[in-house]
Amino acid sequence: MTETAVTDSTTGSADEIVSPPGPHGYSHDKEAHLKRLRRIEGQIRGLQRMVEQDVYCIDILTQVSASTKGLQSFALQLLEEHLRHCVAAAAAGGGPEIDEKVAEATAAIARLLRT
Amino acid sequence: MTETAVTDSTTGSADEIVSPPGPHGYSHDKEAHLKRLRRIEGQIRGLQRMVEQDVYCIDILTQVSASTKGLQSFALQLLEEHLRHCVAAAAAGGGPEIDEKVAEATAAIARLLRT
Amino acid sequence: MTETAVTDSTTGSADEIVSPPGPHGYSHDKEAHLKRLRRIEGQIRGLQRMVEQDVYCIDILTQVSASTKGLQSFALQLLEEHLRHCVAAAAAGGGPEIDEKVAEATAAIARLLRT
Amino acid sequence: MTETAVTDSTTGSADEIVSPPGPHGYSHDKEAHLKRLRRIEGQIRGLQRMVEQDVYCIDILTQVSASTKGLQSFALQLLEEHLRHCVAAAAAGGGPEIDEKVAEATAAIARLLRT
């Protein structure tokens, strides 16, 4: 989690001053993302209630699968926006930055695959 | 989510009346499970803050991978306890129930694999 | 890959002397397993032809997903038979071996999940 | 598997007539890819021998995990090259094609994640 990445001059853009500033590709879908994450948070709290109430193991596992699926859908949407905006911007820029951006995105995909 | 499963006579046991009643295999690890789930809940809230603060996409994806890994570790621990207690109890019982229990556990594993 | 495991006295059975001896749970489905694996082998050879013929990357990735799905279905079927026969036999035996068998099966599931 | 994709005029290029023709991003790594796929093919044949010889289930599952990991590493490498060449080329082109390419790549990643 590099805090510096947030202010990366190549992905942010100074002329988007109006609120919300949103320097990244996913910004215009922010509300949809937050809504999705709040639903997942609710599912995790639901899991805690299930454990507290001694619900049958298999039913808890089903709920875990649903939460994991929710997280992966969120990740895929974020990744699509990242490729469309950040990676495409680096490619359009024409510089050597595209290799770095693609390697970074691929590493993120590998982490998602291996969890 | 079958409510009836909670009171399944083969997995519950009437002589465990003292608190916590815990009819399932995971009951004795309840506190550890709840602690783990609360940490995952915190990670999901962290994801919301990251989206609100326009954190760099890749860093958000890294956090998603960590949360997914947390959920899968929880699932694996639950599954292990389920196999050790519920499935083993069905096997020790010697009746036809073992086939049903194993099919049910395998279906749960398939759901975890395919998310 | 423990060669000794093959002759594990708890999972083999002395009265299955006729050929093929088949000491494990999956033995009676051997032909179905081999057929499935040969199909996957054909898919992997198909992937080689696709690479040789410069087929479009995305189409190759689709074929990789199909092969991976085939491998996972094979693994799930093997796992189900293992739980039904080896793990259940250990549970029915009533000794301490059940814990070891369950830990071993869970570790195998974890490896499948994390690939 | 769209055969048309192979001759897609946007990803192939007519002026690369010299051998190897290789219209796609992965072409220059062709030998490495083929070598990797042949190793996976050998692992799948190894799985068949294991089933024929009644090798212990858990050891077969370990080999399945290794083969799946091999396929996923191959997919990730192909995907990285695809992003670097095809997707970046679409972005540099500046036209609307980038959205289509990114959606297509994301769908492929989703298929890999869900197997």
* Choice between C30 and C17, residue whose per-residue pLDDT is larger: C30
What are the contacts of C98-107 at 24+ separation with CB within 8 A?
C98/B84, C98/B88, C99/B84, C102/B80, C102/B83, C102/B84, C102/B88, C103/B80, C104/D58, C105/B83, C105/C79, C105/D58, C106/B76, C106/B79, C106/B80, C106/B83
Is D107 within a domain?
Answer: yes
Is D76 within a domain?
Answer: yes
Residue with tokens 């096997």: B91
Cβ distance of A112 and B61 shorter than 8 Å: yes
Distance of CA D33 to the CA centre of its chain: 8
Q: Does A91 touch chain B (CB under 8 A)?
A: no
How far off is chain B from C57, nearest CA to CA, in Å? Answer: 23
| pLDDT of C63 strictly over 60 | yes
Q: How many independent structural domains does chain D possess?
A: 1
| pLDDT of D83 strictly over 70 | yes
Pick from A84, A90, A98: CB nearest D102: A84
Residue with tokens 């769908």: D107
Q: Does C98 touch chain D (CB under 8 A)?
A: no
Cβ distance of A113 and D113 shorter than 8 Å: yes
Q: Does A91 touch chain D (CB under 8 A)?
A: yes
CB A98 within 8 A of CB D84: yes
Q: Measured between beta carbons, which residues in chain A are less than 8 angstroms from residue D114?
A: 72
Looking at chain C, which residue has its C-alpha nearest residue A110? C115
Q: Which domain holds residue D75?
A: 29-113
Q: Does C79 touch chain D (CB under 8 A)?
A: yes
Is B86 within a domain?
Answer: yes
CB A50 within 8 A of CB A59: yes
d(Cα B102, Cα B90) in Å, to the nearest integer?
Answer: 9
Q: Measured between beta carbons, which residues in chain A are less than 8 angstroms from residue B62?
A: 1, 108, 111
How far off is chain B from C52, nearest CA to CA, in Å? Answer: 30
* Choice between A102 and A23, residue whose per-residue pLDDT is larger: A102
Mean pLDDT of C92-98: 82
At residue A37, the pLDDT reads 98
How far off is chain C from B13, nearest CA to CA, in Å? Answer: 18
Looking at chain B, which residue has its C-alpha nearest residue A4? B56
Confidence label for B86 from pLDDT (cuts 50, 70 and 90):
confident
pLDDT one-digit tens code per residue, B91-106? 888 778 888 999 999 9
At residue B93, the pLDDT reads 81
At residue B32, the pLDDT reads 94
Residue D57: C-alpha distances to residues B114, C27, C35, D47, D51 (Å): 21, 10, 17, 11, 9
DSSP structure class, residue C85: I
Is B5 within a domain?
Answer: no
Q: Does C58 touch chain A (CB under 8 A)?
A: no
Highest mean pLDDT range out of A81-85, C14-18, D17-21?
Answer: A81-85
Q: Does C102 touch chain B (CB under 8 A)?
A: yes
| pLDDT of C58 strictly over 60 | yes
Cβ distance of A60 and B72 shorter than 8 Å: no
Q: What is the CATH number of the domain that holds B100?
A: 1.20.58.1000
At residue A23, the pLDDT reads 57
Q: Does D45 touch chain C (CB under 8 A)?
A: yes
| pLDDT of A57 strictly over 50 | yes
Q: Measured between beta carbons, which residues in chain A are less than 8 angstroms from residue B27?
A: 54
How far off is chain C from B42, nearest CA to CA, in Å? Answer: 23
| pLDDT of C8 strictly over 60 | no
Looking at chain C, which residue has its C-alpha nearest residue D106? C58
Q: Measured between beta carbons, which residues in chain A are less than 8 angstroms from residue D112?
A: 113
**Percentage of residues of chain D with pLDDT beyond 90:** 59
Confidence label for B4 from pLDDT (cuts 50, 70 and 90):
very low
pLDDT one-digit tens code per residue, A59-100? 999 999 999 999 999 999 999 999 988 888 888 887 788 889
d(Cα B109, Cα C83) in Å, to the nearest integer?
Answer: 12
Q: Does A94 touch chain D (CB under 8 A)?
A: yes
Mean pLDDT of C8-34: 56
How far off is chain B from D114, nearest CA to CA, in Å? Answer: 5
At residue C93, the pLDDT reads 81
At residue C23, the pLDDT reads 57
* Choice between C99 and A63, residue whose per-residue pLDDT is larger: A63
Which ipTM score applies to this complex?
Answer: 0.77
Q: Does C89 touch chain D (CB under 8 A)?
A: no
How far off is chain B from A16, nearest CA to CA, in Å? Answer: 13
> How many residues can be counted in chain B?
115
Is C8 within a domain?
Answer: no
Cβ distance of B115 and D114 shorter than 8 Å: yes
Mean pLDDT of B85-94: 84
Cβ distance of C68 and D115 shorter than 8 Å: yes
* Mean pLDDT score across all residues of chain D: 81
pLDDT one-digit tens code per residue, B33-75? 999 999 999 999 999 999 999 999 999 999 999 999 999 999 9
Is C4 within a domain?
Answer: no
Is D10 within a domain?
Answer: no
How far off is chain B from D17, nearest CA to CA, in Å? Answer: 38
At residue A20, the pLDDT reads 34
Mean pLDDT of C100-104: 93
pLDDT one-digit tens code per residue, D96-109? 888 899 999 999 99
Is A84 within a domain?
Answer: yes
Confidence label for D86 from pLDDT (cuts 50, 70 and 90):
confident
Confidence label for A17 from pLDDT (cuts 50, 70 and 90):
very low
The backbone torsions φ and ψ at residue B96, rounded to the nearest 5 degrees and listed phi first, read -75, -5
